[in-house]
Amino acid sequence: MIVAVKNLAAERTRLLLSVFGVGFAVLLVLVMAGIFVGTTRQVTTYIDHSRNAVWVVQPGVSQMFRAVSWLPAGDERTLSALPEVGSADPILGQPSDFVHHGEQTAYFVLGYDTATGVGGPWSLAQGRNVDRPGEVVLDRILADKNGIRLDDTVRIVDGDFTVVGLSNQTAALGNFYAFVSQPDAARLLRAGDRVSYFLVQPAPGYTPEQAVQAIRDGVPGADALTSAEFAQNSRDIIISMIGRPLKAMIAIAALVGVALIGLTVLAATNEQMADFGVLRAVGVRPVQLVRAVLGQAALIAALGYLVGAALAYAAQFLIRDRLGDVTIAVTPVMLAGMALATAVMAGLGSLLPLRRVTRIDPAVAFRR
């Protein structure tokens, strides 16, 4: 390793460029993977906060984001009559476009029973929950992006509402939530005597799975899924939308890392071929030369990994504070996996230099 350090230190500019190049590749991989993990977690935050409820939906609807669910409001009585059902709370929810001062943003209008609070915001940054018609709780990030404050009047679909609260954790990948009372949502969404979902809590002594089966058997024209199933199906939709391009960018970043390590080590090896020839001529075994080459690759990879991992860890907080609706989750498992991947990059980048070193002719020492 000492030999490797000396060899690379002789060309500091090349070393620094290679380290920062590998660091950039590591940063890109971690950020892309972090966005993937963070986004798939965040998009189902609303479902995850439904207290392990069973979601009753229109047949054929299995996720929340690319399907519209309509159910008769009268199904609440049918659901409540089932022994397996402890409570059934209606929710109205549809995607729409939020327009404020000419700026248009995609968002989700959610109407809930303000008396129970079920289906409403679970964390407020400012203000209070909705308790009367004409009031709205907006996502904090949506409000910040549009310069909206408490007590401002905003346009929701085609009605004017007073902002009484700003919610936390209700933004994901450009989608935001606006919470209003259920009667207001029914009017805005032209729902009539319909709702989008029922959130069912199983009765004591019954599991969510038992409640799901009872609803499927006892409520015609309705389907049911556990919150875990509903969340996973919704995540799968997001994965299908962003998974392929993110994976392509991760693969490109990994190839960049391999190329940078390989080119740097190869250039250093080429410059030292005469020295390696001398060493072979005096009896140094090829395995010792292999160690020197691998040491160079390992040093570049290790320094690059440290630079990239540190930047990625800092980036998750910077992006969260600046954007809000984009979440990066850089986890310990991800860092460990990236360390292993960087080691693989170092190994692949060393293949050509190793091939040259192991086949060196000692006579090259006398061709200077």
Residues 65 and 134 in one domain: yes
Q: H/E/C letters for each residue in 36-94?
A: HHHHHHHCCHHHHCCCCCEEEECCCCCCCCCCCCCEECCHHHHHHCCCCEEEEEEEEEE
Q: 190 in a domain, yes or no?
A: yes
Considering 164, 189, 221, which residue would you say is the last residue of a domain? 221
Q: 228 in a domain, yes or no?
A: no
Ramachandran angles phi, psi of 156, nearest 5°: -110, 115
Report the Cα 325 to chain-centroid distance in Å. 11
Q: 192 in a domain, yes or no?
A: yes
Residues 183 and 302 in one domain: no
Can you give the pTM of this predicted structure? 0.72
Residues 217 and 240 in one domain: no
Our count of domains for the chain comes to: 2
Q: How do residues 19-66 score in pLDDT, each as one tens digit?
A: 887 888 888 888 888 878 777 777 788 888 887 789 999 999 888 877
Q: 289 in a domain, yes or no?
A: yes
Residues 198 and 256 in one domain: no
Residues 31 and 98 in one domain: no
Q: 251 in a domain, yes or no?
A: yes
**Rg (the chain; Cα; Å):** 29
Cβ neighbours of 81 (radius 10 Å): 11
Residues 259 and 336 in one domain: yes
- The predicted pLDDT at position 202 comes to 95
Residues 64 and 211 in one domain: yes
Residues 100 and 147 in one domain: yes
Considering 177, 198, 221, which residue would you say is the last residue of a domain? 221
Q: How do residues 67-108 score in pLDDT, each as one tens digit?
A: 789 999 999 999 999 999 999 999 998 877 666 666 667 788
Residues 32 and 112 in one domain: no
Residues 36 and 165 in one domain: no
Q: In this structure, what DSSP letter does residue 316 have?
A: H
Query: Which structural domain, as residue segments, surrounds residue 267?
Result: 2-43+236-366
Q: 53 in a domain, yes or no?
A: no
Q: 50 in a domain, yes or no?
A: no
Residues 150 and 28 in one domain: no
